[in-house]
Amino acid sequence: MTSVSPPMESTTRRYALPLLLAYPLLALAGAVTHRQIFALLALVLLLTVVMLPRLLTFRLAPWSVWAAVLLALLLLSLYGFSGLVLEAVPVLINAALACWFGHTLATGEPLVARFIVAIEGAARLQQRGIARYARQLTWFWTLLLGAQALLLAVLLLGAEHSGLLARFGVTSPLQVPERWAAAWLHLGCYALLGAAFLLEYGYRRWRLRHLSHLGLHDMLLQLALHWPQLLRGHGGTT
């Protein structure tokens, strides 16, 4: 992966965080109001965040791709499909993250170990119990994200009235009540990941209580400051 200059990393962080925070708000607004404009804006924000490092190079190719995808989203909106695409986004995000975590388990640098190096430095991995716990935690997130992707796919397909099967006139073998499917697709899936993160943080402090730990605020701050390193690993490449 092409390295990113420090000024560009700083600019990426400055714009990416507000965009990421706005995405679930717009997605929820679209689900509650059933207005396609919120779904479309949420998708545009997500696309922009994903492509932001390349967009900030101001090269023609990434901006052309961004414009082409934006045009495709506008066409989907005109035909009333942007809400459906937005509903599929959590499935794709969870599946992609599960693959990302899982892929690194086959290497000498599990993804959580990469987090630790980015936040606290390589020497932290040499402390007793850290490297082993980093691999175990990478397994945990791989399995949790993979299971959630599967659950979200089932809800997307089998929701009683708005599921894909129902929309195409197919009777689902597992009909999920509409209220529960919508609640999990638009809110529950995010709440689960937040709760899992907080519970793991508490468990980590207890299990590795023989070591000092960053406070939760400092850890999140360092993660936000160094997240581009997570894409590159120790050596600068994935």
Secondary structure of the chain as H, E, C letters: CCCCCHHHHHHHHHHHHHHHHHHHHHHHHHHHHCCHHHHHHHHHHHHHHHHHHHHCCCCHHHHHHHHHHHHHHHHHHHCCCHHHHHHHHHHHHHHHHHHHHHHHCCCCCCHHHHHHHHHHCHHHHHCCCHHHHHHHHHHHHHHHHHHHHHHHHHHHHHECCCCHHHHCCCCCCCCECHHHHHHHHHHHHHHHHHHHHHHHHHHHHHHCCCCCCCCHHHHHHHHHHHHHHHHHCCCCCC
Q: Measured between alpha carbons, how far is 188 from 186 in angstroms, rounded to an integer?
A: 6
Give the pLDDT confidence score for residue 98 in this predicted structure: 95
Q: Measured between alpha carbons, how far is 232 from 230 in angstroms, rounded to an integer?
A: 5
Last residue of a domain, one of 36, 54, 80: 80
Based on the domain organization, do 76 and 184 belong to the same domain? no
Give the pLDDT confidence score for residue 12 in this predicted structure: 59
Based on the domain organization, do 72 and 132 belong to the same domain? no
Based on the domain organization, do 214 and 114 belong to the same domain? yes
pLDDT tens per residue across span 28-41: 777 677 677 777 78
Of the pLDDT bands very low, low, confident and very high (cuts 50, 70, 90), residue 46 is confident
Give the pLDDT confidence score for residue 226 in this predicted structure: 65
CA dihedral angle for residue 23, residue 3, residue 126, residue 140, rounded to 10 degrees: 30
- Mean pLDDT within 202-226: 82
Residue owning tokens 């089932």: 154
Last residue of a domain, one of 80, 112, 131: 80
The least confident of 9-18, 73-82, 171-180, 213-222 is 9-18
Based on the domain organization, do 102 and 12 belong to the same domain? no
Last residue of a domain, one of 80, 108, 135: 80
Based on the domain organization, do 68 and 105 belong to the same domain? no
Phi (first) and psi of residue 159, to 5 degrees: -55, 140
Of the pLDDT bands very low, low, confident and very high (cuts 50, 70, 90), residue 237 is very low
Of the pLDDT bands very low, low, confident and very high (cuts 50, 70, 90), residue 22 is confident
pLDDT tens per residue across span 110-165: 999 988 888 888 899 999 999 999 999 999 999 999 999 999 998 888 887 777 77
Number of domains in the chain: 2
Helix pair 82-104, 130-158: axis angle to 10 deg: 150
* Domain coverage including residue 196: 87-238
Based on the domain organization, do 98 and 73 belong to the same domain? no
The first and second tokens of residue 50, run together, are: 């994903």
Closest among 125, 8, 27 to 82, alpha carbons compared: 27
Based on the domain organization, do 118 and 221 belong to the same domain? yes
Based on the domain organization, do 224 and 133 belong to the same domain? yes
Give the pLDDT confidence score for residue 83 in this predicted structure: 65
Measured CA to CA in angstroms, residue 154 lies from 8, 165, 183, 190 at distances of: 40, 10, 14, 17
Based on the domain organization, do 51 and 119 belong to the same domain? no
